[in-house]
Chain A
């Protein structure tokens, strides 16, 4: 069983909807990530949080809004999405010591998003 839990596993939304993806880990990791993965493609980094602060934003459109309310939780708020935003959204976490990533990324099972 994965130690990174993502909900919901599947989400269908219209272009005018507002929804959120949630991610939770209890491994004490202080770095958390959102990746986007289209079918048959590798994951693409979207955001990185380090100690609950946004440290990397890979020029992601503002219709995606990340939030890290505490060290265990990571949200991705979705608003006014486009059909091309349909993808698998993967959350991950890793240990971090003094700004250095010290191990592998642990991924969740992902949330499959379909935008109609």
Chain B
């Protein structure tokens, strides 16, 4: 079974509007971390925001916020006041704390959502 599911291959939003990118995850661990990365056409994976499974408050970083609904196993990314530079591929990822007894580097990525911001 896929550990991370992003059901939106593509999303379109007008500049200055807010947009929500969906992410659901599958894990039986109690301790895990959820990440969102942005990948522009240049290729670099840019870290945006992190939510720990024990964090009670939703994570926020500037215009990015994470709508964390633990019971539903969802970690949607909300981008407020979209900008043209937000156009990129967005990946949701999860790290499980108990994966082979180590957390090293094993990020499970979703298939990504291609966001296009239009003027």
A45 and B44 within 8 A (CB): no
Question: Which of B44, B106, B110, B111: most chain A Cβ within 10 A?
Answer: B44
In the complex the two chains form, is A48's CB within 8 Å of B105's CB? Answer: yes
User: With A42-B109, A104-B50 in contact, do A2 and B104 touch (Cβ < 8 Å)?
Assistant: no
Cβ contacts under 8 Å, B106 to chain A:
45, 48, 56
Interface size class of B (residues with CB under 8 A): 20 to 34
Once A56-B105, A56-B106 are accepted as A-B contacts, the answer to whether A2 and B44 lie under 8 Å apart by CB is: yes
User: Which interface residue of B42, B104, B110, B111 has the most chain A CB atoms within 10 A?
Assistant: B104
Interface of chain B, main secondary structure: loop
A39 to B15, CA, bound (A): 26
Nearest B residue (CB) for A111: B43
Q: Which residues does chain B contribute within 8 Å of A45, judged by CB atoms?
A: 105-107
With an 8 Å Cβ cutoff, the count of chain A residues facing the other chain is 29
B102 interfacial by beta-carbon distance below 8 Å: yes
Do A105 and B105 touch across chains, with their CB atoms under 8 A apart? yes
B residues near A (Cβ < 8 Å) are 35, 37, 42-47, 50, 91, 95, 97, 101-107, 109-112
